[in-house]
Amino acid sequence: MRSRSTLLEDWNKVLSSCDKPAYLAIAEAIELEIQRGVLQLDDRLPPIRELAKGLNLDYTTVARAYQEAQHRGLITSKAGVGSYVRIRNSNQLEAEPTLIEMTMNMAPEPQEPELLARMRHGARHVTEQGNFHRLTRYQDFGGTEDDQQAAAVWLNGVSPHHKGRTVLVTPGIQATLAGLMNGLVGAGNTLCAEAITYPGVKAMAGLLGIRTLGIPGDAQGILPDALEAHCRINKVRALYLNPTIQNPTTRTISETRRREIVEVARYFGLKIIEDDPYSKLMHNPPTSLASLAPELTYYVNGLSKTCSAGLRIAFLVCPTELESKRIASSLRATQIMASPMCSALATQWILDGTAQMCLDNIRLMSQRRQLIARRILGDFKIETNPEAFHLWLNLPSAWSQSAFCGRLLNRGIAIASADMFCLEGATPNAVRLSLGGNLNDERLEHTLRIVAETLNSYPANH
């Protein structure tokens, strides 16, 4: 594929000499360059915003052009992944495949009739008991006393430090992390995180005007010496960590490394945001950072990865009761409250055992799917955890992550490339695959065989 500057120059000429609407002119320019062999299979097109700026057009026009090109079967587009050429020439049009979504890291969905019946029963019970209006009114931020007690029950075993403290019930982990980043760091200030980290942190930091610094690590977790060096040079306000079955690498920070990190944080008075949604997937999770440094740590857990992705309920434990009140006031200003309906359902499922059954079921399905993945992808360099529902795949040198994602997207499979997760430094040539969501075992196996087949093939321009 020619350089983007040359591509923009050619397309500007097409637009200036064409009397058709700009979106049609762009689509036809893509088709012409495919016919000429300038654009080839798996070539990545410029992002919509970049192209709009280069062609002096608005975002909507370019987005419509890409939609038109996709409708003609020329390209495949996926938000967060990009737009790729999907045919070698315009005579090879084929039906658009049904997209297999592996970019969102969702837990496997329970299918057992008994469990589904329990979930439905709990939902009916919540809406039918007592005063229905209590579920439709505003409530104080942090949940009712019953909600907070249920949250404390759920946190037993993964972070026992919460006993005797208020557990705030919040509207999902993502919203809670955004509130903590805003309240603890703030615009213009610095947050440290793993160099390869949860992409939501990148997005939220950008929106909030927060500077992020990536801390390098190894199989045991971030390097304490590197964290210390950053803290000596920069005025770091907080450290974000996803320490257990990390997204995307599945790594878990070792017990020893956790204590070393806490030692550095204590020395510099560094606040720790512990994002811990996957720890309950492990039968024997390591000691939480919050248990090692309760005076520094803001501990966040929830139900999205262990019960239901659509149940947007999270649990937050702050270092002190006074800080809990301050953070609750800050979160209330932007989030009002967690949905009383969702909070009541979460409480019902926790107390009647349904949430634990969901967790047990997700564990079993995740373990089974990891075995499938190892059987099919075992000859390749993968990193994973037996109790996770995602894996980190290091690509062979023949494939770039961009070309590999594009080739799979052309085959109807959407995966997440490493550049989505990297804060700074060299981006590893890797991708993350989610094994959960609505895929059943049979469809997952079929999908992973396509991934393996693609790994063993060569890029179009190899």
Per-residue pLDDT of the chain (462 residues; tens, 9 = 90+): 556 677 777 788 778 777 778 888 888 888 878 877 788 777 888 888 888 888 888 888 888 888 888 877 888 877 767 888 876 544 444 444 468 889 999 999 988 889 989 999 998 999 888 778 888 888 888 888 999 999 999 998 787 666 667 889 999 999 999 999 999 999 999 999 999 999 999 899 999 999 999 999 999 999 999 999 999 999 999 999 999 999 999 999 999 999 999 999 999 999 999 999 999 999 999 999 999 999 999 999 999 999 988 889 999 999 999 999 999 998 988 888 899 999 999 999 999 999 999 999 999 999 999 999 999 999 999 999 999 999 999 999 999 998 999 899 888 899 999 999 998 767 899 999 999 988 889 999 999 999 999 999 877 554
| Closest residue by Cα to residue 110 from 349, 326, 339 | 349
Contact 407, 459 (CB under 8 A): yes
Read off the tokens for 270: 């560094």
Residue in 203, 218, 195, 82 with CA at minimum distance from that of residue 427 = 195
State the maximum Cα–Cα separation within the chain, in Å, rounded to a whole number: 72
Amino acid identity, position 260: E
Angle formed at CA 208 by CA 202 and CA 211, multiple of 5 degrees: 60
DSSP 193-225: EESB--HHHHHHHHHHT-EEEEEPEETTEE-HH
The total number of residues shown for the chain amounts to 462
* CA 87 and chain centroid, separation: 30
Listed residue (175, 111, 185, 174) closest to 362, CA to CA: 111
**Whole-angstrom distance, CA of residue 301 vs CA of residue 151:** 9
Q: Is 390 exposed, middle or buried (0-12, 13-18, 19+ CB in 10 A)?
A: buried
Out of 1.10.260.40, 1.10.10.10, 3.40.50.720, 3.40.50.300, select the CATH number for domain 4-91.
1.10.10.10
Cα first-last separation, the chain = 13
For position 460, what pLDDT does the model report? 58
Q: Which pTM value belongs to this model?
A: 0.80
- Please report the pLDDT score of residue 93 as a whole number: 43
Residues paired with residue 100 on neighbouring β-strands, in sequence order: 413
pLDDT value at residue 87: 63
Amino acid in the structure at residue 213: L
Helix axes 321-335, 173-184, angle to 10 degrees: 110
Q: What pLDDT is stored for residue 54 in this prediction?
A: 85
CATH architecture, domain 113-354: 3-Layer(aba) Sandwich (3.40)
| Contact predicate 78/69, CB 8 Å | no
Contact 216, 195 (CB under 8 A): yes
Per-residue model confidence (pLDDT) at position 373: 97
pLDDT score of 94 = 44
3-state secondary structure of 49: helix
Rounded to whole angstroms, how far apart are CA atoms 348 and 355? 9
- Beta strands per DSSP E along 223-276: 236-241, 271-275
Between CA 70 and CA 27 the distance in angstroms is 9
Pick the CATH number of 101-109+357-455 from 3.90.1150.10, 1.20.1060.10, 3.40.50.11260, 3.30.230.10: 3.90.1150.10
Tell which phi-psi region holds residue 327, choosing left (phi > 0), alpha (psi between -120 and 50) or beta: alpha
Strand-pair partners of 211: 190
| Interatomic CA distance for residues 323 and 359, integer angstroms | 31
In the chain, domain spans: 4-91, 101-109+357-455, 113-354
Domains 4-91 and 113-354 in one fold: no
In order of 109, 359, 454, the CA distances from 363 in angstroms are 11, 6, 29
